[in-house]
C-alpha cells in the first residue's frame, strides 16, 4: 500500500487529495447552488462516497507510492488515468444507479476542479521531491557490484543525477577500472562483504555474469539477513537491442522483449472510450456541417465519388477499408503509387485538403467502426506493407497496435512520400516507440500538436 521509507509523504498526499476533493465540492456548491443545495443529506452522502471511491482507486492504482526515479509526465499520466476511472465510475453510479437527479452542472464542476487541483498538487510534489533530493535529503545509499555498459549508463544518467537522490557508496568489480568511475571504486568482488559490514547500504545493484552465481546467491543471503534491498541487472540485457520485461509463469521467469501498455485491458478501454467520445464530438460539431460543404466542392470541381476508400493494413495484419475525401482524379494507380510532390493526379481542391489534412477527416468513421484509433501508426496500402516488411527490419511490429488517424511519426515529420527505404525505417521506428511508450497523456499531446499543425504550421511533407 505505502512504501515504508515514504509513508509520511504518501499519507500526506492522500490527505491532501481528500482536502482538495472537499474544496472542489464546496466551490461547486457555491458556484452552482449559491450554497443552497436542494438535498443536503444526499449531497453530503455524495461527497462521502467520492472520498471513499477516490481513496480506493488511488491506493489500488499506487498513486501514493513515491518512486525514486520520479518523472512529471509519468506522474501526470498515472493520475489522469485514475481521475478518468474515478469520473467514469462515479458518474455511472450517480446518473444510472440512483433515482435522485443530481445536478449535472454540479458534478461536472466538481470533477473538473478536482482534476485541476490534483494535477497542480502533483506538479508541486514532483518539484518539491526533486529539490529535496538535490539538497541531499532522503538519499538512498547504493552499492554497485559489477561493471559493464549498463552500470556505466546508470551511473551517468541516473545515480549521479541529484534529482533522483542516490548516493553511490561503492563500486566493486574485478574488471579494469577507468578514470570515469575510479572515485566510486572500492575494491574487488571478494571485498564486498567486508565493506557492507562496515557501511550502511540501503540497496545493492548487481550486474554479474552467470559464472558468478555462487557469489550472487551469497549476496542475496547477506542482503536478506541485513535488511538490504537487492536489484539485479541481467548481464544479457547489455547486448539486447530493445527493452524487455520479465513475467512469472508458475514461478518460472519468462522474458518479454517488448513492453506494450496497450495489452492492458484497462488501457485499451481508456483509449477506446476516448476515441468514441472525441470522434462523436467531431462528427456532431464539425463533420455535420463541414461534410456537405466539402462534398459539394469535390463534386463541383472533379468527376468521381466524394469518398475514396482503399484497403490498408490494420491491427494484427488484418486489412480494412480506409476512408478519405477524394483528393485525386479517379486513376488506376491509386492502390500502387504514393502521392508525390506536384503529383498531377491531385486536384486543385485536393491539394488544399491534403495541405490541411482535411482529406483524412472521414477516418473518424473508421475510428467509430473500431478499424482505427485517433492516434496510432498510420495504415499503409497493402502493396507497401508487403514491400516494406522485407526491406525494413521490425516493420511489422507497428501492426501490433490499431492504426491511427495521426501518430507519433507524423508529428515528428515522418509523413508523406517515402522516397528512400530509410524514410520508412524512420517512420517504423517512431511507430514502434509509440507502441512501447503509449500513455493517455501522449495521445493528448499528439492530438494537440496535430491540430496545431493543421491551422498554424505548414508541413512541407504534406502534399
What is the full DSSP assignment across 269-324? HHHHHHHHHHHHHHIIIIIHHHHHHHHHHHHHHSSS-SEEEEEEE-GGG-EEEEEE
Q: What percent of the chain has pLDDT over 70?
A: 90
Q: Which three cell numbers stand for residue 52?
A: 471513499
List, in order, residues 6 or more apart from 447 with CB less than 8 Å away: 278, 374, 375, 406
C-alpha to C-alpha distances, 162 to 157, 165, 183, nearest whole angstrom: 10, 5, 17
How confident is the model over 237-296, as pLDDT tens digits? 555 556 667 777 767 777 777 778 898 888 898 899 999 999 999 999 888 899 999 999
Backbone angles phi, psi at 366, to 5 degrees: -60, -35
Q: Which three cell numbers stand for residue 412?
A: 515528428
pLDDT at 233 over 90: no
Q: What percent of the chain has pLDDT over 90?
A: 39
Backbone angles phi, psi at 256, to 5 degrees: -105, 130
How many other CB atoms are there within 10 angstroms of residue 1's CB atom? 9
C-alpha to C-alpha distances, 411 to 49, 341, 372, 446, nearest whole angstrom: 42, 19, 18, 7
The 3-state DSSP class for residue 373 equals strand
How confident is the model over 92-149, as pLDDT tens digits? 888 776 666 778 888 899 999 999 999 999 999 999 888 887 777 777 899 999 988 8
Distance CA 52, CA 72 (A): 26
DSSP 22: H
pLDDT at 1 over 50: no
How confident is the model over 392-418, as pLDDT tens digits? 988 998 999 999 999 999 998 887 666
What is this structure's pTM? 0.61
Q: Closest Cα partner for 78 from 272, 264, 278? A: 264
Instruction: Domains for the chain: give ranges and CATH numbers.
Output: 4-134 (no CATH), 140-239 (3.40.50.720), 288-456 (no CATH)
Q: What is the pLDDT of residue 463?
A: 47
Q: How many residues does the chain have?
A: 463
pLDDT at 2 over 50: no
Amino acid at each position: 500500500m505505502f512504501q515504508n521509507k515514504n509513508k509520511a509523504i504518501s499519507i500526506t498526499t492522500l490527505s491532501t487529495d481528500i482536502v482538495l476533493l472537499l474544496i472542489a465540492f464546496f466551490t461547486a456548491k457555491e458556484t452552482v447552488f449559491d450554497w443552497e443545495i436542494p438535498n443536503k443529506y444526499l449531497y453530503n452522502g455524495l461527497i462521502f462516497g467520492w472520498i471513499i471511491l477516490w481513496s480506493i482507486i488511488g491506493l489500488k492504482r499506487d498513486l501514493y507510492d513515491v518512486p525514486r526515479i520520479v518523472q512529471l509526465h509519468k506522474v501526470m499520466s498515472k493520475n489522469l488515468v485514475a481521475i478518468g476511472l474515478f469520473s467514469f465510475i462515479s458518474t455511472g453510479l450517480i446518473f444510472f444507479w440512483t433515482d435522485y437527479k443530481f445536478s449535472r452542472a454540479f458534478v461536472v464542476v466538481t470533477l473538473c476542479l478536482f482534476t485541476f487541483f490534483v494535477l497542480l498538487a502533483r506538479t508541486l510534489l514532483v518539484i518539491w521531491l526533486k529539490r529535496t533530493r538535490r539538497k541531499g535529503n532522503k538519499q538512498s545509499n547504493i552499492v554497485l557490484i559489477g561493471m559493464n555498459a549498463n552500470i556505466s549508463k546508470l551511473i551517468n544518467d541516473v545515480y549521479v543525477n541529484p534529482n533522483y537522490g542516490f548516493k553511490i557508496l561503492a563500486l566493486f568489480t574485478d574488471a579494469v577500472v577507468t578514470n570515469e568511475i575510479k572515485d566510486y571504486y572500492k575494491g574487488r568482488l571478494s571485498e564486498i562483504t567486508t565493506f557492507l559490514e562496515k557501511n550502511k547500504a540501503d540497496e545493492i545493484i548487481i550486474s554479474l555474469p552467470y559464472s558468478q552465481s555462487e557469489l550472487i546467491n551469497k549476496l542475496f543471503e547477506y542482503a536478506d539477513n541485513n535488511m538490504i534491498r537487492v536489484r539485479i541487472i541481467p548481464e544479457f540485457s547489455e547486448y539486447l537491442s530493445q527493452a524487455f520485461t520479465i513475467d512469472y509463469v508458475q514461478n518460472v521467469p519468462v522474458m518479454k522483449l517488448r513492453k506494450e501498455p496497450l495489452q492492458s485491458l484497462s488501457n485499451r478501454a481508456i483509449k477506446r472510450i476516448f476515441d468514441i467520445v472525441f470522434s462523436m464530438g467531431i462528427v456532431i460539431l464539425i463533420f455535420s456541417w463541414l461534410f456537405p460543404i466539402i462534398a459539394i466542392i469535390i463534386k463541383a470541381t472533379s468527376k468521381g465519388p466524394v469518398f475514396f476508400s482503399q484497403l490498408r493494413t490494420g491491427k494484427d495484419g488484418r486489412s480494412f477499408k480506409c476512408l478519405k475525401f477524394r483528393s485525386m482524379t479517379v486513376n488506376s494507380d491509386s492502390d500502387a503509387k504514393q502521392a508525390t510532390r506536384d503529383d498531377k493526379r491531385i486536384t486543385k481542391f485536393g491539394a488544399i485538403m491534403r495541405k490541411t489534412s482535411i482529406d483524412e477527416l472521414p477516418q473518424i468513421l473508421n475510428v467509430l467502426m473500431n478499424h482505427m484509433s485517433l492516434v496510432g501508426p498510420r495504415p499503409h496500402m497493402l502493396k507497401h506493407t508487403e514491400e516494406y516488411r522485407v526491406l525494413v527490419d521490425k516493420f511489422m511490429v507497428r501492426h501490433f497496435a490499431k492504426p491511427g488517424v495521426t501518430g507519433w511519426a507524423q508529428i515528428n515529420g515522418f509523413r508523406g512520400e517515402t522516397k528512400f527505404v530509410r524514410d520508412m525505417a524512420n517512420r517504423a521506428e517512431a511507430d514502434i516507440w509509440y507502441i512501447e511508450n503509449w500513455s493517455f497523456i501522449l495521445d493528448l499531446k499528439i492530438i494537440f500538436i496535430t491540430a496545431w499543425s493543421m491551422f498554424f504550421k505548414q508541413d512541407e511533407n504534406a502534399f
